[in-house]
Amino acid sequence: MGMTITEKILAKSAKQARVSAGENVWLDVDVLMTHDVCGPPTIAIWKKEFGEKAKIWDKEKLVIFPDHYIFTKNSHANRNVDILRQFANDYDLPNYYDVGTERYKGVCHIALAEEGFNVPGTVLFGTDSHTCTSGAFGMFATGVGNTDAAFILGTGKIWEKIPETMKFTFKGKMPPYIASKDLILQILGDIGTDGATYRAMEFDGEVIDSLSMYERMTLTNMAIEAGGMNGIIAFDDTTKKYLSEIGVTEYDIFESDNDAVYHSKFNYDVAKLEPLVAKPHSPDNRDTVRNVEGTKLTKCYIGSCTGGKITDFRFAAELLFGNEVKVTTFVVPASTAVAKQLEEETLKGISLKEIFEKAGCIIAESSCAACLGGPSDTIGRSVEGDVVISTTNRNFPGRMGSKSSQVYLASPLTVTASAIRGVITDPREFL
Amino acid sequence: MENKITGKAYVLGDNIDTDQIIPAEHLVYSTSDPEELKKYGHYALSSVPIEKAGLPYGGKPFIVGENHQSEYTIVIGGTNFGCGSSREHAPLSLKVAGVKVVIAQSYARIFYRNSVDGGFLIPYESQFKLSDKIKTGDFVEVDVEENKIINHTDGKDYQLNPLGDVFEIVKAGGLFEFARTSGMI
């Protein structure tokens, strides 16, 4: 009996010839990632539990990105960054990316990719549910809490239950009005926010093959929105090219066997898909954009690990060129590298940044910002009565700030088309 | 680990996500400072829409006034309890508020792991939806040896799924205690 890509990677990490779904194993962790919200409590647990003997299992494998509550006057939030800085100094950590320095990167999941920590065939744990984003690189990546992270920090090991795998295959040619965000919203509407709980979500098919690494990351990012343990896309030439450009050349390539056992298989013809939204207050509350067209908006938001990548802004710039926004629109590049690309990349001779400025968007500094609400002075945070359309990943009550606000999730194309009209708008109106 | 846990039930619906359990804006407080820790209890379940707070009737805040502890010690949920973020502050905030057991039809993976590995509370699975059977304020007893919940208010009892593989970690009081007793660390 064959194995899936997820099973093969976990078998290697568990030092076993094979593993089967449902089995509990102890894994060797290749990278542990944490940030300003969960890093300080993780460090506190590690110090308390290991006491005088507390030792970081491998400094090279610990990666810390302050990214959540960065541009705020909130003294408690700032204290959390101070704790990370002190920890990095005390232990001389090589992979700490401090705020206010040239090393600052922005949102961890995108920075992990940019900095070469996403290595095919490896196992990455992070104190953030969207750690599953890294699975786009043919690796196992998942989120854990602070106690598990503290255990990894001291031992390099953690227990995990081998997940069953669900396979999602996309065939056909991507229409220009569909982005990978629509693909994952389609899946979420089909299986619900617990449709993949404790399972791996494997994406393949000619559509996935045609997607850039960043568009693939939109899919794996939102695996957790279906409850998935991890999202995964096999290594291919696109992965290889991305990695070689940032100097990552050593890795293990795994593929699912033809006779691998799947929990279930889903097939989609992408030509038949419509631009979609997730209506308030759940990522699986799917509807077509056409069905909610005309809904009056107070804010549009393009940002986050899900929807603040360069590919998201290319979609947005294409529609915004020569247009103005009718409603307050936030542009929040996920990383400082994306922010730099907005300045350098041009469309018809004009930089993407200038296109956004001319259109009247508010461009913020790279961080998680209002995706998860954050302290009261967070840019873009929703307030009472707001109706927001956003490229982010969650719209639970209060997620972007006020629990009385209404948040629609959509692709960067749909969000931008809606920003231009001030009401929810199908991107086909502009394409 | 206590074998019998008694107290008042607080009943919630499906898909109680971590933002409802502890809104992200409060995650700035220290989890090790005893005074700041109380904030987590105070804000526990504060983003549950009021009409869904304390079913079946709603309108019953989990925390009253400036308190950091709730009068309820057993939370009953529906499906997909704890979905959303990886914040361990979610089971922590329930614990600080005085919750010892959550009984839900199903859990999101990270919340479940965090509850067990952090030793915050016992996450039991019910065999069917108990949020339809038990009312907020009912006096209930959870028997950890018998894997059973008894509703003393109406005299009915319901079997719960055994904790299975994670029982040893729950019994030890968390992942670190488990690892120490089994000689791993």
Digit-coded pLDDT (tens) for B10-40: 999 999 999 999 999 999 999 999 999 999 9
| Separation of alpha carbons A148 and A127, rounded Å | 9
Q: Are A5-267 and A276-429 equal in CATH topology?
A: yes
Counting one residue from chain A and one from chain B, the pairs whose CB atoms sit within 8 A come to 135
Residue B60's pLDDT is what?
Answer: 98
Digit-coded pLDDT (tens) for B51-96: 999 999 999 999 999 999 999 999 999 999 999 999 999 999 999 9
Inter-chain contact B107–A146, Cβ cutoff 8 Å?
no
The helix (run of H) or strand (run of E) holding residue A275 is none
pLDDT at A394 over 90: yes
| SS3 letters across A77-108 | HHHHHHHHHHHHHHCCCCCECCCCCCCCCECH
Digit-coded pLDDT (tens) for A217-264: 999 999 999 999 999 999 999 999 999 999 999 999 999 999 999 999
Question: Distance (Å) from the C-alpha of residue B54 to the closest C-alpha of chain A?
Answer: 17
Residue A363's pLDDT is what?
Answer: 98
Question: Helix crossing, A146-155 with B109-117: angle to 10°?
Answer: 70
Q: What's the average model confidence in pLDDT over A410-426?
A: 98
In chain B, residues with a C-beta closer than 8 Å to the C-beta of A41 are 31-32, 88-89
Q: What's the average model confidence in pLDDT over A284-295?
A: 98
The length of chain A, given as a count of residues: 431
pLDDT at B1 over 90: no
Q: Which of residues 253-292 of A touch B (CB under 8 A)?
A: 282
With a CB cutoff of 8 Å and minimum separation 6, the contacts of B41 are B63, B67, B68, B69, B70, B93, B96, B97, B98
Q: What's the average model confidence in pLDDT over A292-315?
A: 98
Which two structure tokens, joined as six digits, stand for A39?
């890093």
Q: What's the average model confidence in pLDDT over A377-381?
A: 98
Inter-chain contact A394–B175, Cβ cutoff 8 Å?
no
| Separation of alpha carbons A94 and B170, rounded Å | 36
Inter-chain contact A44–B85, Cβ cutoff 8 Å?
no
Question: Helix crossing, A213-221 with A310-320: angle to 10°?
Answer: 110
Burial A211-247 (b: 16+ CB within 10 A, else e): bbbbbbbbbbbbbbbbbbbbbbbbbeebbeebbeeee
Domains of chain B: 4-181 (3.20.19.10)
Question: Distance (Å) from the C-alpha of residue B82 to the closest C-alpha of chain A?
Answer: 10
Q: Which residue has the tokens 């873009």?
A: A380
Residue B130's pLDDT is what?
Answer: 97
Closest partner residue to A373 (CB to CB) among B23, B106, B185 is B23
Inter-chain contact B84–A151, Cβ cutoff 8 Å?
no
With a CB cutoff of 8 Å and minimum separation 6, the contacts of A241 are none
| Separation of alpha carbons A318 and A323, rounded Å | 10
Is the Cβ–Cβ distance between A248 and A116 less than 8 Å? Answer: yes
Residue A53's pLDDT is what?
Answer: 87
Digit-coded pLDDT (tens) for A313-346: 999 999 999 999 999 999 999 999 999 999 999 9
| Separation of alpha carbons A37 and A67, rounded Å | 9
- What is the CATH number that goes with domain A276-429? 3.30.499.10
Q: What's the average model confidence in pLDDT over A357-384?
A: 97
Is the Cβ–Cβ distance between A340 and A106 less than 8 Å? Answer: no
Digit-coded pLDDT (tens) for A4-59: 999 999 999 999 999 999 999 999 999 999 999 999 999 999 999 999 889 999 99
Distance separating the N- and C-terminal Cα atoms of chain A = 47
Domain ranges in chain A are 5-267, 276-429
Residue A311's pLDDT is what?
Answer: 98
In chain A, residues with a C-beta closer than 8 Å to the C-beta of B86 are 38, 126-129, 131, 143-145
CATH code matching the domain that covers A5-267, chosen among 3.40.50.2300, 3.40.309.10, 3.30.499.10, 3.40.190.10: 3.30.499.10
Q: Is A384 exposed, middle or buried (0-12, 13-18, 19+ CB in 10 A)?
A: exposed
Question: Which residues of chain B have a Cβ shorter than 8 Å from any chain A Cβ?
Answer: 15, 17, 19-20, 23-25, 27-32, 36, 47-49, 79-80, 83-89, 106-110, 113-114, 117-119, 165, 174-176, 179, 184-185
Longest CA pairwise span in chain A (Å): 64
Digit-coded pLDDT (tens) for A161-212: 999 999 999 999 999 999 999 999 999 999 999 999 999 999 999 999 999 9
Best CA proximity match to B118, nearest among B51, B176, B38 = B176
pLDDT at A103 over 90: yes
Is the Cβ–Cβ distance between A237 and A373 less than 8 Å? Answer: no
Q: What's the average model confidence in pLDDT over A132-157?
A: 98
Question: Distance (Å) from the C-alpha of residue A401 to the closest C-alpha of chain B?
Answer: 8
Please give the mean pLDDT across all residues of chain A: 98
pLDDT at A364 over 90: yes
Closest partner residue to A38 (CB to CB) among B47, B80, B87 is B87
Cα separations in angstroms, A264 against A93, A164, A185, A200, A202: 43, 9, 18, 11, 11
pLDDT at A155 over 90: yes
Question: Distance (Å) from the C-alpha of residue B24 to the closest C-alpha of chain A?
Answer: 6
**Kind of pairing between the strands at A199-204 and A230-232:** parallel
Is the Cβ–Cβ distance between A431 and A176 less than 8 Å? Answer: yes
Chain B residue nearest residue A194, CA to CA: B80
